[in-house]
Structure 1
Amino acid sequence: MKFESAIRGLVMGDSLSTQNATHRLALLSERRVRRFNILQAFATENKHTTVPEPYVHGFSPKYLYPRPSDDVEWFIWSRDVALSKSEFSEKWQEMATLRGTLRIRVSVASALQNISKGMRAPSCGHDNPHYFDNSAMFRALGIFSAMPRDINRLKELIKEDATHTNSEDGVWCAVAIGVLAASIDAGTPTSEAIDIAIDELPQDSWSRREVLRALALSKSESMLKERVMLLEEKFVDRIYPYPYAAPETLGLLISHLQHKEDPYLMFTSSFLHRRNTDSIPGLIGYFLGLQHGDSWMPQTFRTEKVFLDGVSIPDLKGRSIFSE
């Protein structure tokens, strides 16, 4: 039951993220997407502070209802691969042949391009300018949900998958978040589980430095609202254009998990990390579901049968998130 709660927490965070509607806009016609982009450019060119939000105009509003998007779909994809005992190398080769139909993170796009050229892991993940992004972290949790008890095999599979799209920090953080989930699931106190996860980050690595810096900044700040602002001002990166760096993502996640909070309050406060809302609410939702079940979630997300819409992986359209 707690695994279903964890997945529902991920679904809730992914569905309510700021970027969700933008991702889901791709389900409409290309003409509608172009029109939205034109309105965005119009606002920029004319120095307007009135900027458009994703809209349907002629399509059903249901297209933009809060429903799962790319992160949940890749979670399900990796869980399926692990459950089927397939080789990740074979599945990534298949995904490379489907590149024209996929809507994906830039790191995954670069990796698939490398695979199409004949490169294999770990080279296809290493020769990638976005090797350090957090895309493999969501897939790591999918792998964990498929095989939570065998920690050594879990780490092997996470590395096998992650090295196709990432390298170094992107891989290390994926392994760390998988180990964090496995430790918490096994009943390890959260503080100890965090230490175990950090041990997966090599000494002197960017990942370890960032996570330890985030923990040091936030450890003594027990008030959630103050902790969020502290991390926003002194930790969150605003130099890199894409807010998906794995070390930053893991640092923010662990900084909040180290404190005991009302789960719904912690979940809703994660949206105050506005630059990171495409990732943090979903990850925090997953771990809060793993720790606390689903009693803190709104009824819609506790009971609704959730089906995927193929936002990122069209072949998953219509798939129930709880079917195996």
Structure 2
Amino acid sequence: MSADRADRIHGALLGLAVGDALGLAADYHRAVRSPWVRGRLWAGSAELDEARVAKPLLPFDATTVDGARLAPTDDTETAVLAARVALTTAGTADASTRRFAEWRRLTAGDDVWTGIAERSAIINAERGLVPPVTGNDGPADASDSAVAAGVVWGLFHAGDPAASAEAATEWASITHARDGVWAAACMASAVSALAVGAPIAQALDDAEALVPADSWLAEGFRAAARIAPASVILELPRLLAELNPRRYSQPGTAPETLPIAFLLLRADGERPEQALANATLFARESDSVPAFVGALLGAAHGAEVFGEAWPAAVDRVEGVCYPALAGERVSAVAAELEASVADRATR
């Protein structure tokens, strides 16, 4: 069990990093450390728009053509940050207070780049607020940016979905509320079960059952269940129209993205390459759906489903969003999580 679990824990984090690196949004994230490039992207695109040119600029590297092209960004760093906090505070007294303090330490500084929910929570914390007020007093509490951390809490409590969901709920409440929190708990439960070999359908069903029936997230899952496509690619027009309409200017709304990810697992969970490829078809949600699908696939099947090239390509964390995490390794964090699970199991 331990070796298999270790491979699944690594697979979940590796899959998250693979999917995270695939989306176009990650290319924009990789430009945040280059002020000139970042400025040209937005100013140049505005100039082209004024000239009636329908070709906005794409992210580029002004210094080299062979840099870390596929380095993972926000989702991976969100997960690694949660893992660092989980490992640092494991077994300590007053763990909740310590976790919030560690979160504040790792997210401090002018050079940190975050999502809207995280930025709002940082500002709230600076004003003296504490969870859950830091999360529910914000404009993006239903975003999906806490779901990647849910993956970590699922791994930290591998084999105990209830404990995983509880830990993810507490953690996500720092930055989110309601659907944003329930989505993180839902992902944690699914990953926890998959990491010890639960069937995909059972793990997803049990995770969805945790979501309040009258919530926006639950309605998203019901909408996905009504479609249940035999072929994702052939039914993509309907999937996009019903599950991912052009309704919001901000991507990454948890009641849309997590149901899509679960749908893709149900459709092709036993064909990992197809499921991951299908995840990239949802262009408006490429910042998160591929990462969620990758994490679920890795938890279900282990790291080997991502072949030989991907582990080396996405193992190093660059600290694009959280500079304090630069130099972390996905594989090393996974090994530490497995060691923690094994150690706590013997107590």
TM-score by length of 2: 0.87
1:22 counterpart residue number: 28
2:293 counterpart residue number: 284
Matched, 1:182 2:187: no
Relative distance call for 1:305 and 1:205 in structure 2 (3 A) is closer
Larger mean Cα displacement after TM superposition, 111-120 or 286-295: 286-295
Q: After the TM superposition, which residues 80-229 of structure 1 pair with which residues of structure 2 at under 5 Å, given as runs?
A: 80-84=84-88, 85=90, 87-95=98-106, 98-217=108-227, 219=228, 221-229=229-237
Matched, 1:234 2:242: yes
Larger mean Cα displacement after TM superposition, 207-216 or 221-230: 221-230
Matched, 1:36 2:41: yes
The one-character-per-residue Cα deviations of 1:193-230 (angstroms, maximum 9, x if unpaired) are: 2221111111211111111111112x2x2112124332
Runs of 4+ residues over 4 Å off in structure 1: none
Question: Among residues 272, 289, 293, which one is paired with 2:302 in the alignment?
Answer: 293
Relative distance call for 1:232 and 1:305 in structure 2 (3 A) is closer
Shift of 1:145: 2.1
1:266 counterpart residue number: 275
Question: Among residues 48, 51, 54, which one is paired with 1:49 in the alignment?
Answer: 54
Q: In structure 2, what residue type is equivalent to 1:251? A: P
2:343 counterpart residue number: none
2:142 and 2:109 mapped to 1: Cα distance?
21
Matched, 1:2 2:8: yes
Say if 2:319 and 2:327, in contact at 8 Å, map to a contact too: yes
Q: Per the alignment, in what secondary structure is the counterpart of residue 288 of structure 1?
A: helix
Say if 1:159 and 1:175, in contact at 8 Å, map to a contact too: yes
Shift of 1:304: 5.0
Shift of 1:314: 0.4
The answer for unaligned runs of 5 or more in structure 2 is 1-6, 337-347
1:309 counterpart residue number: 318
Length, aligned pairs only: 319
1:127 and 1:26 mapped to 2: Cα distance?
27
Shift of 1:110: 0.7
Shift of 1:115: 0.8
1:149 and 1:294 mapped to 2: Cα distance?
18
2:344 counterpart residue number: none
RMSD of aligned alpha carbons: 1.8
2:109 and 2:178 mapped to 1: Cα distance?
24
2:4 counterpart residue number: none
The one-character-per-residue Cα deviations of 1:114-169 (angstroms, maximum 9, x if unpaired) are: 11101111111111110000111101112222231333332222111110100011
Q: Per the alignment, in what secondary structure is the counterpart of residue 249 of structure 2?
A: coil
Larger mean Cα displacement after TM superposition, 68-77 or 5-14: 5-14
2:104 and 2:318 mapped to 1: Cα distance?
23
1:62 and 1:147 mapped to 2: Cα distance?
39
Larger mean Cα displacement after TM superposition, 263-272 or 287-296: 287-296
